[in-house]
């Protein structure tokens, strides 16, 4: 049996089946939807296309999927409270369903939808993201080590 991830948007929980783990998450403040520019979390069947950030320290700041060399600290965070920080690790999602979350105006990969760490860990469990799936930094560190490229991710 292979590992897969189930993201339960209504409950704001990510379940990994093997090994069995559950994590609180945050999905989009705008709800679910697959249209580019909607700032919604896409639904349907996806896979992990890329794992980014191996060996980076927790709190590493990413820009355009590359580590900036900075680690988020309280001073930097307080100067940029409105920024949607992408931290620690990135699991980049690729839609697997043509016309639903793949190709055209609904392409998850081209929307740059990730599972990633966040600076706003106090908001985990509430739908507050701009489309991505946010996790606590310690949780994304663990999940990153437990999954492989190709792991199926079902979002509903």
Four-point Cα dihedral 58, 85, 111, 47, nearest 10:
20
Q: Where are the domains of the chain?
A: 4-155
Q: Which pLDDT score, from 0 to 100, does residue 9 have?
A: 98
* 123 φ, ψ (degrees, to nearest 5): -95, -5
d(CA 82, CA 106): 26
* pLDDT surpasses 70 at 44: yes
* pLDDT surpasses 90 at 81: no
Helix (H) / strand (E) element for 139: namely: helix 137-146
Q: Token digits for 143?
A: 């999940």
Residues 59-65 have a mean pLDDT of 96
d(CA 151, CA 83): 29
Q: Token digits for 3?
A: 């590992």
CATH of domain 4-155: 2.40.440.10
Grade residue 133 by pLDDT with cuts at 50, 70 and 90: very high
Q: Structure pTM?
A: 0.95
Output the average pLDDT for the chain.
95
């Amino acid at each position: 049996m292979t590992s897969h991830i189930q993201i339960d948007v209504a409950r704001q929980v990510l379940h990994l089946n093997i090994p069995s783990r559950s994590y609180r998450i945050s999905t989009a403040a705008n709800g679910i939807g697959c249209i580019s520019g909607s700032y919604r979390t896409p639904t349907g069947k996806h896979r992990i296309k890329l794992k980014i950030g191996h060996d980076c320290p927790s709190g590493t700041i990413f820009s355009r999927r590359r580590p900036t060399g900075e680690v988020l600290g309280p001073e930097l965070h307080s100067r940029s409270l409105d920024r949607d920080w992408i931290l620690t690790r990135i699991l980049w999602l690729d839609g697997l369903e043509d016309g639903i979350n793949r190709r055209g105006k609904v392409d998850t990969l081209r929307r740059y939808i990730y599972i990633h760490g966040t600076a706003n860990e106090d908001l985990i469990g509430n739908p507050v993201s701009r489309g991505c799936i946010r996790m606590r930094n310690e949780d994304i560190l663990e999940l990153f080590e437990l999954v492989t490229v190709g792991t199926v991710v079902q979002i509903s």
